[in-house]
Amino acid sequence: MSTTSSPATRGPSATVSSAGSVVARSSSPIFLNRIRPTSLAVKDRCLICERRCVIKEGGFGFCRTKKNIEGKIHTTVYGYISSLSRNPIEKKPLFHFYPGSYALTAGTYSCNFPCPWCQNWEISKYPPEEGNGRYIAPEEFVELAISSNCQGTSVSFNEPTLLFDWSLELFPLARDRGLYNTFVTNGYMSEEALKRLIQAGLDGANFDLKGNKEVYRLLKADGEIIWRNLKLARKMGLHIEITTLIITGVSDRGSMIREIARRIVDELGPDIPWHLTRYFPAYRYDQPPPPISLLEDLFQVAKDEGIRYLYLGNVPGHRWENTYCPRCNSLLIKRIGRVENFLKDSTCPNCGYSIPLVD
């Protein structure tokens, strides 16, 4: 007999604190609600990400969120939320997408990548079956986003494709209520998964591009998958931005940044926003964070290759958190403290240069 059940008739109650965090309280058994068949599998093979795990009866896939129950692949984290908060869209980071807006952001547990330096390891390395998250139905999530004065939704904190089936139901509901939908992802989903997400209403995504082939080899993954998905997303009209975590001893070489910058310009275009983000010691990696001076050097390397919209992350108060006009260098969007947008109809007020922006 299958362990799945019908959707919950009543979701959790939740409130948003003055600090912007959301407190969710379950009013029904979460384990009955969160386990259900996934919509993207063939027999014992999960097809949501490119690991394409073949899962034996009673076993779990690499991400520990997909389980074979009576010969069918089930998700065990449908609507199973570990973390929930009201965040500025700039925190994703998405700098060219509804600047100054807020997104209700949710994540679950675990991940399909084994990064030893994970900056969110408290949830990405936590087994879902041992978690104390709360079930939130898509309909409840949309109502919570609206009641907390958010302009959109975001699936983030850990890899969002683990919430694939939940997202497919969430996105059209949110869009019907005037909300945008975003992902912060490692980009390792299958082509079919990405297509379904965009068709369901995914509007924007930040792709975590971890480095070159050497870095992805450490993670037992194929980095070309991310490039394939970036190109597919762009072709399908998804707003994309890229983040690369600058990790001491891993992704902090000028030659690597130059290689990535050239590929972005050649294969995606020079207008794709790219965030070079400062790593801090976490989980099983204890090298010191890179000096800010090194990040500034890498910034210049990427800029010299033609990237027009380049940013430094995890360096609070740095001028390169701001957006400047590529033509006249005028300050266009200031992000030190609160967001100040000086654009006029997405153009530079000084020289009239058109800035690629979703607003």
Q: What is the pLDDT of residue 239?
A: 99
Number of domains in the chain: 1
pLDDT of the residue at 337:
87
> Is 231 contained in some domain?
yes
- What values do phi and psi take at 264, rounded to 5? -60, -50
Find out whether 66 and 48 touch, Cβ atoms under 8 Å: yes
Domain membership of residue 100 (yes or no) is yes
Residue 197 lies in a domain: yes
CA angle 325, 326, 332 (to 5 degrees): 15
Query: Can you read off the two tokens belonging to residue 306?
Result: 């033609």
Kindly state whether residue 298 falls inside one of the protein's structural domains.
yes
| 348 within some domain | no
| Phi then psi dihedrals of residue 180, to 5 deg | -85, 165
Residue 32, pLDDT score: 62
Task: Give the residue numbers of the binding site for [4Fe-4S] cluster.
Answer: 111, 115, 118
Q: Looking at the domain assignment, is residue 320 inside a domain?
A: yes
On the question of a cis peptide bond just before residue 160, with omega within 30 degrees of 0, the verdict is no
Query: Domain with 183 in it: what CATH number?
Result: 3.20.20.70
* Pairing, β 152-155 against β 134-135: unpaired
What is the chain's pLDDT, residue by residue, as a tens digit (359 residues)? 223 222 222 333 454 443 455 444 434 344 568 999 999 999 999 999 999 999 999 999 999 999 999 999 999 999 999 999 999 999 999 999 999 999 999 999 999 999 999 999 999 999 998 989 999 999 999 999 999 999 999 999 999 999 999 999 999 999 999 999 999 999 999 999 999 999 999 999 999 999 999 999 999 999 999 999 999 999 999 999 999 999 999 999 999 999 999 999 999 999 999 999 999 999 999 999 999 999 999 999 999 999 999 999 999 999 999 999 999 999 999 999 899 999 999 999 999 999 999 99
Domain interval for residue 142: 80-341
Question: In this structure, is residue 70 part of a structural domain?
Answer: no
Is pTM, for the whole model, over 0.85? yes
Q: Is residue 23 part of a domain?
A: no
Binding residues: 111, 115, 118
